[in-house]
Structure 1
Amino acid sequence: MMKTNLTYYLVSLLTVIGMLTACTEDSTLPLSSQEKKEGRVILSYTVDGSSIVATRAPEEDEAGNQGRNENLVKELDLFIFPADNSTPIHVSATDAEYTDYNDPQDKTTYKAWDTGLSPDDIQDGDQVYLLANCHNAVSNVTTLDQLKAATVTGLVCYDKQDQFVMDGKVTVDETMRNDKDLHIQINLKRAAAKVRLHFASNTEWTQVSYRFYHYANTATVLEQEETEEYAYVNNLVLADYPTEENQLTPATAITENGTQCLVLYTYPNNWYSGNGNPEDDHLNVAPPINSDRETRILLRAPFDGKLYYYDIPVNFRLPSNNDATEIKFEDYKDLYRIQRNHIYDITVTIDRAGGSESEPVILPSINYYVVEWNEEEIKVPSFN
């Protein structure tokens, strides 16, 4: 779905928010510090996304959806947390500082952002975090714990965003040093996930309406460790769209990869109801799902001249080896959650009558394909 390489170079000299304990947005590094420094800090980052639709060959990459700002970078916040616990460094640039900043979201144009840093400012073992498009959420951060606690909200689930929140991190080591320069590479990942629904049947989109249940519009700025994320998302207040109870909205399909599809966005969510012990989850009986938190789409769509209701889970419910005697938690734990920076590609075939709004039908002919948005490697297998 996405294949966009936006490489940006942070070299020497622009606006610095600088050392976090006593800097403002228009402060700069001390002159004496700059005079004694040589070399550059070159920080290049990439928003690199791709997905592999089940009907296409893996080697065929997809261009990013520029019309939905899925790769747009308008704000940057660079944090450096020294390994020796000395004063952190925070360098920031926002769209307001770039009066002519218009990112084409392709791989042909490279932006330069001068930071005023030199290799002397960053030592091996320092942790470097780069945040995109969330300046207001992190502008007052002064510690790593505060950065980990920072959150964003207000995700628009049904339309393009003004910009997507992204994050990336790396630990500095000697392999990044070349002559006088320090070259740091960071791969940015989006906090949001993308849900994309296609029809394999000849279903007329003009007759389709939907309701998006239990999506998350709040997330942490930084990607969390899995255990921490579970604890965080399990306490989120989830949203529905439309917000009016029991209402549906007409589906506005867009064309991607030559196919019309419904595109929705959500931050991470989790609806696994088990305890991490496969013996207790009894997968041969039913999926361990908390239905009150399950992200799903309620469709109203035509079949044989009538409109019916269909329940479309966003992620798969049972692993293919659910009857195995030695199934592991790792085999199915990702089937009951939405992960950041993933695409959830769902292909629906409406080949039978559905149900009512209160008792919709779950179609047996739904194909799922889940892939990391920034890699071709599949982290969650495809099931029918």
Structure 2
Amino acid sequence: MKKHGLVYSMVALLAVLLPACTADDDLAPAVKPAEGLTISLETPGVLSRATEAGNDALNENIISQAQLLIFNSDGKRTADGYRSFEFTDDKTEAVIATGDWKNDARLFDKGPDEMYDIYVVANAHGGSTSLHEVMTLDGLLNAVDEDADVWKMEYADIASEPKYTGKHFAMSGVSRSFAPNSKDDECTISVQMERLAAKVEVNITFSNEFNKKFTPTGFYSSLRNYATRGLWRSDKEVNLKNTDRGIAGNRADDPMVAALEKNSEAGTAKLVLYTYPTNWGGDVLQETFVLLNMPGYYTEEGAASGELKESNYYKIPVRLGDVTAHQLNRNTIYRVNAMLS
């Protein structure tokens, strides 16, 4: 994920299994694998001067399934330009076609000398459009993924609920201007994937004075005005209104999640939450922010014991600045360092 100036980068190293051969002269030589066209997906990351890997423990890099769509120069999906793959054992490589794939008119309908755009989406949760039914590039650019649980991290500990598991991040990528005849008969298309979600990480510390007065019993947070729906591609992001983003997290009874890390004695904690892209355009009533509840014991100076405060709320902004900054972008980490005093 890009980090508000930095970028998450994680490149999947794919082990290639080679056929074994022996030194016995009387045995036939190893047979070369069938020539064909394959796809290899790289977990998200856009190179910059500083990179930061996704968190494996939070499932930020896992790709379990993907769908591939091939579009010709007219923006139409080719007849056989849809593939669906499932991945296991951390492998993210799959065969698209074998044999004389370059001259397969159902795969490349304008011929092998023309150029095609190959789009990939991964870890789909669902949405208003079935990707199998998408027949045009414009249809894909307007398609959305919807995840009501987007805000939750893997193993999220939420009161009165089982721990949340099975977290998967929707991702997309593209290989543009693919010309079949310019490639070898045995060709692997490498596609860099990008998460649809933005990550919000809040690092809490207490001032020395506050740490002496207050002993927390827990750190619980929720994201307010987060989006549960996001476009698969960012091309038309600017046209997406907040009313189309499935804005959530505003009910009084919305659940809160325990901190990923905490040290009550030191007065430190790390909160992790996610959202699909949002843009509140400077309207403070639509601002995406973190709501923190930090129950604990507050001890007045000279008092023998502390008073328990079970409701102790703080609002933590994610972004500050003019209207151009009032948005959260895909595949970006927003790290907030908050000192409480």
Task: State the TM-score, normalizing by the size of structure 2.
Answer: 0.67
Do the aligned partners of residues 134 and 211 (structure 1) sit closer, same or farther apart at CA in structure 2, a change above 3 Å counting? closer
Do the aligned partners of residues 47 and 336 (structure 1) sit closer, same or farther apart at CA in structure 2, a change above 3 Å counting? same
- Which residue of structure 2 aligns with residue 261 of structure 1? 270
Q: Conserved in 1, the CA contact under 8 Å of 2:40 and 2:93?
A: no
- Which residue of structure 2 aligns with residue 298 of structure 1? 291
* Deviation of 1:194 (Å): 0.6
**Is residue 207 of structure 2 the alignment partner of residue 199 of structure 1?**
no
- Which residue of structure 1 aligns with residue 65 of structure 2? 75
Distance in 2, Cα, partners of 1:153 & 1:194: 16
**What is the SS of the residue equivalent to 1:207?**
coil
* Deviation of 1:246 (Å): 6.0
How well do the aligned residues superpose, as a CA RMSD in angstroms?
A: 3.5
Letter in 2 for 1:310: Y
Do the aligned partners of residues 176 and 148 (structure 1) sit closer, same or farther apart at CA in structure 2, a change above 3 Å counting? same
Once the two structures are overlaid, the 10-residue window that deviates more, 139-148 or 82-91, is 82-91
**What is the SS of the residue equivalent to 2:240?**
helix
The structure number with the bigger radius of gyration is 2
Distance in 1, Cα, partners of 2:47 & 2:177: 29
Equivalent residue in structure 2 for 1:234, among 232, 235, 242: 242
Question: Which structure's residues are more often strand, by fraction?
Answer: 2
Equivalent residue in structure 2 for 1:252, among 235, 259, 265: 259
* Deviation of 1:68 (Å): 2.2
**Is residue 327 of structure 2 the alignment partner of residue 337 of structure 1?**
yes
1:70-149 alignment, distance < 5 Å: 70-83=60-73, 88=78, 89-95=80-86, 101-103=88-90, 110-116=91-97, 118-120=101-103, 121=108, 123-134=113-124, 137-149=130-142
* Deviation of 1:266 (Å): 0.2
Q: Conserved in 2, the CA contact under 8 Å of 1:125 and 1:172?
A: yes
Letter in 1 for 2:84: A
**What is the SS of the residue equivalent to 1:345?**
strand
- Which residue of structure 2 aligns with residue 40 of structure 1? 36
Equivalent residue in structure 1 for 2:191, among 186, 190, 196: 186
Q: List alignment gaps of at least 5 residues for structure 1.
A: 11-37, 53-57, 104-109, 273-288, 319-331, 352-384
Q: How many residues align?
A: 271
* Deviation of 1:144 (Å): 1.6
Letter in 2 for 1:316: L
Do the aligned partners of residues 111 and 190 (structure 1) sit closer, same or farther apart at CA in structure 2, a change above 3 Å counting? closer
Do the aligned partners of residues 8 and 263 (structure 1) sit closer, same or farther apart at CA in structure 2, a change above 3 Å counting? same
**What is the SS of the residue equivalent to 1:349?**
strand
User: Residue deviations 1:239-270, cap 9 Å, x none?
Assistant: 443x6426663533248xxx841110100110
Distance in 1, Cα, partners of 2:76 & 2:47: 41
**What is the SS of the residue equivalent to 2:152?**
coil
* Deviation of 1:299 (Å): 2.1
* Deviation of 1:75 (Å): 1.2
Task: State the TM-score, normalizing by the size of structure 1.
Answer: 0.60
User: Residue deviations 1:267-313, cap 9 Å, x none?
Assistant: 011011xxxxxxxxxxxxxxxx2012110112233696475432211
Distance in 2, Cα, partners of 1:86 & 1:144: 6
Equivalent residue in structure 2 for 1:4, among 10, 31, 38: 10
User: Percent identity among equivalent residues?
Assistant: 24
Letter in 2 for 1:234: N
Q: List alignment gaps of at least 5 residues for structure 2.
A: 2-7, 17-33, 155-165, 263-267, 300-306
**Is residue 337 of structure 2 the alignment partner of residue 347 of structure 1?**
yes
Q: Conserved in 2, the CA contact under 8 Å of 1:211 and 1:298?
A: yes
Distance in 2, Cα, partners of 1:6 & 1:141: 28
- Which residue of structure 2 aligns with residue 270 of structure 1? 279
**What is the SS of the residue equivalent to 2:239?**
helix
Distance in 2, Cα, partners of 1:303 & 1:205: 6
Letter in 2 for 1:44: S
Letter in 2 for 1:43: I
Equivalent residue in structure 2 for 1:222, among 233, 239, 242: 233
Letter in 1 for 2:71: F
